[in-house]
Structure 1
């Protein structure tokens, strides 16, 4: 058993008594293709919650500062997270993310780049659009509907793949593609609240 699977099952066991997690649309996440899961970001628990509700291992970009925290840095590295320098172009993080997709794996992104302070979906950064355009990955919108209250219900909704062919053919900008992805997340939020 890989450390990732061990960690996923441990997190599942730890969260289960405190949150009722309802998963909708899990079947929309392809079993083999490269996938980009793009989710809203409302809490620090979002990455582990996405990780335990997708059967395939998910690789998350995480802010570089987290990797400098003793113990936590090593732990998140072992669970497929990799560092990204925020607020600047980070070529190493870009290369790592593209390799994940080239290897037919799952990349988890929070396009807003930071947690929402009011729970509403913010503006997405161009990175999500960049990866969607530069790869053949299936883009899956994800809505996490909280709030995270002890013994409360959390809904995790995976939508249908976002149609990317016409955007790739039109050579749309990364910003335009990100807006398209964010609209998909917003629709899931509105339909499932």
Structure 2
């Protein structure tokens, strides 16, 4: 019975996401027409995520280790256990951001508009697609857009989820452009909604998000990418273990 109620809640949350997407669609579409408007598109994404979650009884408690200078460009590296992680990052970060995500999101009803415009799709099984995606990310960073890259590259198939090995891409990119990395630890979003909620459903609750202080990369060389990757992995792992 409990699982049935959780699956009903998941359907309600999805309807809430769809309802607010279409309610805000005229604004989203207008802001998606020109890259100069993408910052406003991100503001709409923030409002959309907040309202659709709130209607389903899901809220976000976001704690910052230190104050973030929103005028700077960053690479944000969160762990990934839930679709709610995307909403949490959208709400937490106030500057212009661009997500890198799997290319199947291009076909999504509510994700397609973003991944055809402000966000960057990637097929991680294709070296050419990965090259193009990271070239696009490099261009965005040079233009002052903060990139959000989930370094695990996927949501773990294991339940409860475990932090898996990080891919090198975002760390090489950070060192190449001398851009700070901000690790983000989502400690319990999987308890509210694991993955997309299809298997175990979802429930109302508070998602706890911890935004770590930026990790500087200006002093690093390309040979340090593995060290940087392992450092960020360790920061997030330690926070998960202490939560």
For Structure 1 versus Structure 2, the TM-score category normalised by the shorter chain is 0.7 to 0.9
Counterpart of 2:182?
Answer: 140
Contact 2:105–2:112 (CA under 8 A) maintained in structure 1? no
Q: Which residue of 78, 85, 96 maps to 1:46?
A: 85
1:65-91 CA deviation, whole Å, 9 max, x = no partner?
A: 11134x335333367221111133322
Counterpart of 1:158?
Answer: 211
Alpha-carbon distance in structure 2 between the residues aligned to 1:35 and 1:157: 16
Aligned residues: 189
Tell me the TM-score normalised to structure 1 length.
0.87
Counterpart of 1:102?
Answer: 142
How much has 1:175 moved relative to structure 2? 2.9
Alpha-carbon distance in structure 1 between the residues aligned to 2:91 and 2:118: 13
C-alpha change, 1:172 and 1:158, in structure 2 (3 Å) is: same
Q: Which residue of 57, 61, 80 maps to 2:100?
A: 61
How much has 1:27 moved relative to structure 2? 5.0
Tell me the TM-score normalised to structure 2 length.
0.70
C-alpha change, 1:35 and 1:175, in structure 2 (3 Å) is: same
Counterpart of 2:239?
Answer: 188
Contact 2:186–2:208 (CA under 8 A) maintained in structure 1? yes
Counterpart of 2:151?
Answer: 111
Deviates more, 1:130-139 or 1:17-26: 17-26
Alpha-carbon distance in structure 2 between the residues aligned to 1:23 and 1:79: 27
C-alpha change, 1:68 and 1:13, in structure 2 (3 Å) is: closer
Q: Which has the higher helix share?
A: 2
Deviates more, 1:1-10 or 1:52-61: 1-10
CA RMSD of aligned residues (A): 2.1
Aligned residue for 2:227, secondary structure, equals helix
Q: Which has the higher contact order (CA 8 A, sep 6+)?
A: 1
C-alpha change, 1:79 and 1:25, in structure 2 (3 Å) is: farther
Alpha-carbon distance in structure 2 between the residues aligned to 1:97 and 1:190: 31
Contact 1:28–1:158 (CA under 8 A) maintained in structure 2? no
Aligned residue for 2:182, secondary structure, equals strand
Alpha-carbon distance in structure 2 between the residues aligned to 1:133 and 1:55: 23
1:20-65 CA deviation, whole Å, 9 max, x = no partner?
A: 3100007543311110110100012211221112112321101011
Contact 2:63–2:209 (CA under 8 A) maintained in structure 1? yes
